[in-house]
Amino acid sequence: MNGSTGRRLTAAALTVVALTTGTTACSSGGSSSAKGENGGTYTLWDPYPQFAKDSAWAKLLDGCGTKAGVKIKRTAFDTSDLANKALLAAQQDNSPDVLIVDNPVVSTLAEAGVLTTTADNKVDTSKVDPNLLAAGQSGGQTYGTPIGANTLALYYNKKVLKAAGVDIASVKDWPSLTAALEKVKKAGKKGITFSAIGTEEGSFQFLPWFWGAGAKLTQLDSSQGESALSLWNGWLKNGYAPNSVLNNTQTTSWQEFATGDYAFAENGTWQLANAEKAGFEYGVLPIPGASGGNAAAPTGGEFVTVPVQGDTGRYATTRKLVACLTSTDNLYATDTTLSYVAPTSVVQNKQVASDAKLKPWVEAVKAAEGRTSDDLGTKYPKISEQMWKAVQTALSGSKSPKDALTAAQNAVK
> Which domains can be identified in the chain, with CATH numbers?
19-150+300-367 (3.40.190.10), 152-297+376-412 (3.40.190.10)
- Helical residues (DSSP H) of 32-190, grouped into ranges: 56-68, 79-91, 103-111, 118-121, 130-133, 158-163, 174-186
Beta-carbon contacts of residue 278 (< 8 Å; ≥ 6 apart): 257, 258, 260
The Cα 191–Cα 184 span in angstroms is 6
Residues of the chain scoring pLDDT < 70:
1-39
Number of H helices, E strands in the chain: 18, 11
The Cα-based distances of 124 to 19, 206, 344, 350 in angstroms read 27, 33, 12, 20
The Cα 168–Cα 319 span in angstroms is 46
Report CA 2 to chain centroid distance, whole Å.
27
Secondary structure of the chain: what % helix, strand, coil (to 5)? Answer: 50, 15, 35
Beta pairing, strands 137-138 & 282-285: unpaired
Residue 86 sits at the vertex; the CA angle it makes with 85 and 88, to the nearest 5 degrees, is 65
Burial of 378 (0-12, 13-18, 19+ CB in 10 A): buried
Residue 245: DSSP 8-state: G
Q: Please, are residues 67 and 321 in contact by the beta-carbon 8 Å criterion? A: no
> 337, 70, 297, 74: which is closest to 194 by C-alpha?
297
Burial of 396 (0-12, 13-18, 19+ CB in 10 A): middle
The Cα 382–Cα 370 span in angstroms is 16
Q: Please, are residues 109 and 86 in contact by the beta-carbon 8 Å criterion? A: yes
Beta-carbon contacts of residue 165 (< 8 Å; ≥ 6 apart): 183, 187
Cα radius of gyration (the chain): 21
The pLDDT assigned to 22 comes to 37
The Cα 19–Cα 28 span in angstroms is 15
Q: How many residues does the chain have?
A: 413
Which residue type, as a one-letter code, is found at position 285?
A: L
Beta-carbon contacts of residue 138 (< 8 Å; ≥ 6 apart): 106, 107, 110, 111, 372, 375, 377
The pLDDT assigned to 10 comes to 35
Classify the C-alpha dihedral 90-92-96-101 as positive or negative: negative
Say whether 226 sits in a helix, a strand or coil.
Answer: helix
Q: Write down the pTM of the prediction.
A: 0.82
Report CA 178 to chain centroid distance, whole Å.
26
The pLDDT assigned to 338 comes to 78
The pLDDT assigned to 224 comes to 98
Burial of 278 (0-12, 13-18, 19+ CB in 10 A): middle
Classify the C-alpha dihedral 107-109-112-118 as positive or negative: negative
